[in-house]
Each structure stands twice: as structure tokens, then as C-alpha cells.
Amino acid sequence: MLWVQRVIRLAAKPRGIHLVTEEILAQLPELGQVRVGLLHVFLQHTSASLAINENADPSVRSDMERFLRRLVPEDPRLYEHTVEGPDDMTSHIKSVLLGCSLLIPVMDGRLGLGTWQGIYLCEHRERARPRTLIATLWGEGRDAADGSIRR
């Protein structure tokens, strides 16, 4: 059984929905060693979230961002917790709605995502900072020399 845990840092991104699949994969080269397993990705922040959605058409991302702004309006009269500005509490609400972790199957050294799926960082703050993920990969690996299953 192969276990890998890695801290993955994502550069600060503007408010919006950002495709980060390749950024994650670039920092997790051990993925290619796993024949069958799981990747758990956990976001260590309460004002952003993670999601899986379509990765081909960028309008999906902009539509999602517009929908979230309508769903959770930035009206400071609605919230008590506004210490860090009008997007403070709204960011926490969006994070709870979308979630901060993903569990993705690994199949033959690749993420088991559908053809049009990608991993998204949903940045809910106007003035975001870099984000930190904890990626935990586990599963049965292949022996690099002969392709046999490593247990």
C-alpha cells in the first residue's frame, strides 16, 4: 500500500472559479505510481472552496461565480461577522455550501475524472491570499521495474 501526503500551495488568485487540476498534479508526481486508489484534497481555508465541474467551457466558471453572488449577496446589513470586509461572511457561507474537500478515485496513475471534469478552487474573497491544500494519496502501486502490483 502506498501512502503520500503533500502540502500543495496555490498562488493567490482573483475572486472567481479557477481550474487548478494541473497545478495540483504538478505537485503530486507520485500519482503515476498508483494503479488503484484515492486522492483526498483538503483546503485549509474558510473563505474559499473546492469543486469538480466542467473544465472545457470557461463560461461555466463565470456563470457559477455570478450565481454564487446572487445566492449569497454582499449586503453588510445581513451579517454580523464583517470584520474583514463585506465579502467576509459571504465567503464563509459559500465555503460551507460548496465544501473544502474532494475525494477522487485514482485509476492506472490518473485521476478518475470524467472527460469534461476538472478541479476548481472557488475563490470567494476580493483580496485573496495564497491557498494551501493537503493532498493525501493512497492505494496500490506498481513496481517501477516490472509493473507488478506493490502492496
Each residue of 26-60: pLDDT tens digit? 999 999 999 999 999 999 999 999 999 999 999 99
CA–CA dist 120, 128 (Å, integer) = 15
What is the domain partition of the chain in residue ranges? 2-150
The b-or-e profile of 112-125 (16+ CB within 10 A means b, else e) is eeeeebbbbbbbbb
- Residue 76's pLDDT is what? 86
pLDDT tier at 144, thresholds 50, 70, 90: low
For the stretch 18-34, pLDDT in tens is: 999 999 999 999 999 99
- Per CATH, the number for 2-150 is 2.60.120.460
3-class secondary structure, 68: helix
State the pLDDT at residue 151: 47
Q: Is the pLDDT of residue 146 over 60?
A: no
